[in-house]
């Protein structure tokens, strides 16, 4: 096996002890050369000054941005995306060009569109129809730069309807654009009760991005009981050749949480034994 999968660091869940714009440099200092972010601003359409500062922080650190979320609302307050949210659909649409524009400036082509929670005042079917429209709009915008929109099953959000890989695939198929793929967060899938081995076997060709954390706890690999090494090997054997995002909460400090991965294997590093 070629072992070409590469790790990168999610700067929205790691290095939160330092200001956001300092995190790309901290990732570089830890030995990695690629990062991903949830939406790094408080609003759907930030100022040009704020966008420029974010772009500069990534460029100046000498890391590559390989994943970026669309604006997803107030995540700490429980929001999980605007894609299917009627009252805030316009915000999502306004955010599309900003997100894709940042991607174009930084060479990022993977954009995660969190689906959104269910609301009692809107029929689920109507939310799903809206989501299909919005995902298609985002996908057509991303296609202009060769990008892919990602749809992710999520755990820990009671009203978020995409719990399994099959749920996400159904949403992707409703949208009907070729450049929408599954974001397979192995932690979320496992916690939600999906059989991750079956997901890999069934959907390997639909998986466009992978993230990992161990369970229970959502901490770094080796702190729980998920067979992440075996699952990553299975993904690669099934043809996945993309990035593996480290999207975990460090059990200690962020730099110490990488101790499971030898430093020489961090730059565009290879997946093998932990």
Instruction: Enter the DSSP assignment of 155.
Output: S
Phi, psi of 200 (to 5 degrees): -65, -45
Q: Is 144 helix (H, G, I), strand (E, B) or coil?
A: coil
Is the CA virtual torsion 39, 7, 246, 206 positive or negative? Answer: positive
Q: What region, left, alpha or beta, does residue 118 occupy, with left being phi > 0 and alpha being psi -120 to 50 degrees? A: beta
Strand 110-112 and strand 6-10: the pairing is unpaired
| Helix, strand, coil percentages, rounded to 5, for the chain | 40, 15, 45
| DSSP-assigned letters across all residues of 206-262 | GEEEEEE--TTTS-STTSS---HHHHHHHHHHTT--SEEEE----SS-TTGGGTTS-
Instruction: Find, among 213, 219, 206, 153, the residue nearest to 177 by Cα.
Output: 206
Is the CA virtual torsion 159, 207, 59, 27 positive or negative? Answer: positive
Tokens 């690629």 correspond to: 34
Tokens 């991903």 correspond to: 36
Catalytic positions are 152, 247
Is the CA virtual torsion 85, 186, 20, 140 positive or negative? Answer: negative
Which residues are within 8 A (CB) of 28 and not within 5 positions of it... i.e. 6 or more apart? 61, 62, 63
Q: Which two tokens stand for residue 25?
A: 């440099």
């Amino acid at each position: 096996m070629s072992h070409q999968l590469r790790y990168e660091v999610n700067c929205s869940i790691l290095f939160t002890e330092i200001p956001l714009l300092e995190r790309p440099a901290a990732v570089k200092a830890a030995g990695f050369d690629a990062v991903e972010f949830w939406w790094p601003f408080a609003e759907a359409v930030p100022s040009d000054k704020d966008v420029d500062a974010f772009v500069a922080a990534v460029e100046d650190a000498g890391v590559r941005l390989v994943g970026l979320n669309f604006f997803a609302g107030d995540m700490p307050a429980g929001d999980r995306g605007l894609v299917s949210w009627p009252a805030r659909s316009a915000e999502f649409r306004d955010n599309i060009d900003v997100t894709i524009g940042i991607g174009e400036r930084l060479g990022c082509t993977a954009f995660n569109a969190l689906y959104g929670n269910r609301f009692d005042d809107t029929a689920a079917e109507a939310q799903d129809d809206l989501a299909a429209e919005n995902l298609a709009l985002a996908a057509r915008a991303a296609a202009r730069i060769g990008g892919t929109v990602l749809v992710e099953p999520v755990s820990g959000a009671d009203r978020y309807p995409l719990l399994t890989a099959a749920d996400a695939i159904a949403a992707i198929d409703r949208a009907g654009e070729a450049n929408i793929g599954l974001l397979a967060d192995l932690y979320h899938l496992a916690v939600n009760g999906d059989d991750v081995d079956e997901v890999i076997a069934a959907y390997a060709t639909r998986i466009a991005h992978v993230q990992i954390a161990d369970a229970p706890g959502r901490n770094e690999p080796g702190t729980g009981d998920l067979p992440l090494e075996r699952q990553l090997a299975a993904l690669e054997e099934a043809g996945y050749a993309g990035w593996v995002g480290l999207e975990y909460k460090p059990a200690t400090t962020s730099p110490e949480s990488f101790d499971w991965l030898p430093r020489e294997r961090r730059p565009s590093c290879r997946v093998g034994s932990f």
